[in-house]
Amino acid sequence: MRLAIVNDLNLTVEFLRQIVLKGEGNEVAWVARDGAEAVEKCAIDPPDLILMDLIMPVMDGVEATRQIMNRYPCPILIVTATLDGNTSRVFEAMGHGAIDAINTPVMGSDPAAQQSRDALLKRIRTIEKLTGQPSVSQRLRPGRSALAKKLPPLIVIGSSTGGPKAVAEVLSRMPAGLRAGVVIVQHVGSEFSQGLAEWLNDQTDLSVRLVSEGSQPASGVVFLAGSNDHLIFTPNLTLAYTAEPSSISFRPSVDVFFKSVAEHWPSKGIAVLLTGMGRDGAEGLAALHRAGWYTIAQDEATSVVYGMPKAAKELGAATDILPICDVAPAILRFLEKM
């Protein structure tokens, strides 16, 4: 895999280079010392993946990500040691198309330092699988449980690349008195999930919180998957995490969650698949569509990466294909009929 490193600190650049080259088949395509240089080099030689710092002179990682994704789209992983006080910048970069974010690995020989280096290589391998091949077909059995329980209408949302901004756009248009529960699966490392929940909470009148074992949908509450394990519904309609299927590249998987909803949720609801790279969520959306759910896929024009919603369109999984600005109004109109 050909990787580019964008960072203004020489020591960090060399440290990242050493880590990258330890990965089988990896090579460093080029190095840029600021975002502007990265944009110029990407125009000439787009790599397979860019490791993008967040805070740099001349042009920061947020603006560089925006320009690269607009002009010369390629996978971008935010690798930064400046998360404290900059959480909003991380999600702004992800809104422009960065796939994920991770802490800069720690130098040293202690176990924690080694673990941080291994974590970066693992994230690179995961992105390589995601961009190089479709998601592995999941093993959960479709269908719905006959278990009936008095719970609010359910809205489920799946997203990946560009998802934080798209999700915020949808939630910002939801009223505080929403008579439905919302559950979201966004591809993001667990170390950033709490920050994402807090950031989304500032964008909406709804209450946004992370899912904990045993959580159950509630009106006006948005639950966000907060683990690198997959989020599922259990037969008793509580939310839980599971490591299986272990073969899936990106975690948590939208497909695994959507298929568990189709299997266990006792009534019809609303499912939305937003911008993202790959095919995750398309099969799950199709399962919910077959179960009689109202399903929405984001359109190509407003998607940062038209991968997941495109796959859903190809499967005929979407009742409606809508620009992001029309998703929330469509949800509210459908809720009025339920």
First-to-last C-alpha distance (Å) of the chain: 49
Q: Which residue has the tokens 């683990």?
A: 227
The answer to whether position 59 is within a domain reads yes
The answer to whether position 280 is within a domain reads yes
Quick one: pLDDT at residue 150? 66
The residue from 34, 229, 280, 299 that is catalytic is 280
* Overall domain count for the chain: 2
Quick one: pLDDT at residue 147? 39
122 and 224 inside one domain: no
End residue of a domain, out of 99, 132, 165 = 132
Q: Which of 237, 33, 269 is nearest to 148 (CA)?
A: 237
Name the pLDDT band for 310 (thresholds 50, 70, 90).
Answer: very high
262 and 177 inside one domain: yes
180 and 326 inside one domain: yes
24 and 66 inside one domain: yes
109 and 190 inside one domain: no
pLDDT tens string 101-134:
999 998 988 898 899 999 999 999 988 887 763 3
26 and 118 inside one domain: yes
Residue 149 has pLDDT above 50, yes or no: no
93 and 168 inside one domain: no
Query: What's this model's pTM, rounded to 2 decimal places?
Result: 0.72
181 and 125 inside one domain: no
pLDDT tens string 259-295:
999 988 989 999 999 999 999 999 999 999 999 999 9
Structure tokens at 88: 């909003």
Q: Mean pLDDT over all residues of the chain?
A: 89
Residue 251 has pLDDT above 60, yes or no: yes
The residue from 48, 100, 159, 160 that is catalytic is 160
Rounded Cα distance, 129 and 309, in Å: 19
The answer to whether position 140 is within a domain reads no
113 and 209 inside one domain: no
The answer to whether position 141 is within a domain reads no
Rounded Cα distance, 51 and 21, in Å: 13
230 is catalytic: no
128 and 168 inside one domain: no
212 and 293 inside one domain: yes
Which burial class, exposed, middle or buried, applies to 234 when counting CB atoms under 10 A from its CB (0-12, 13-18, 19+)? Answer: middle
- Where residue 13 sits, what CATH number does that domain have? 3.40.50.2300
The answer to whether position 139 is within a domain reads no
End residue of a domain, out of 132, 163, 186 = 132
End residue of a domain, out of 97, 132, 167 = 132
187 is catalytic: yes
- Where residue 188 sits, what CATH number does that domain have? 3.40.50.180
Measured between alpha carbons, how far is residue 256 from residues 4, 93, 138, 185 in Å? 32, 26, 7, 10
Residue 86 has pLDDT above 90, yes or no: no
The answer to whether position 143 is within a domain reads no
Kindly give, in sequence order, each residue whose CB lies less than 8 Å from that of residue 33, ignoring residues fewer than 6 positions away.
6, 7, 8, 56
Q: Look up the domain containing 262 and give its range.
A: 154-337
The residue from 34, 100, 187, 299 that is catalytic is 187
59 and 127 inside one domain: yes
Q: pLDDT above 70 covers what percent of the chain?
A: 93
The answer to whether position 138 is within a domain reads no
The answer to whether position 299 is within a domain reads yes
- Number of Cα atoms under 13 Å in the Cβ half of residue 48: 18
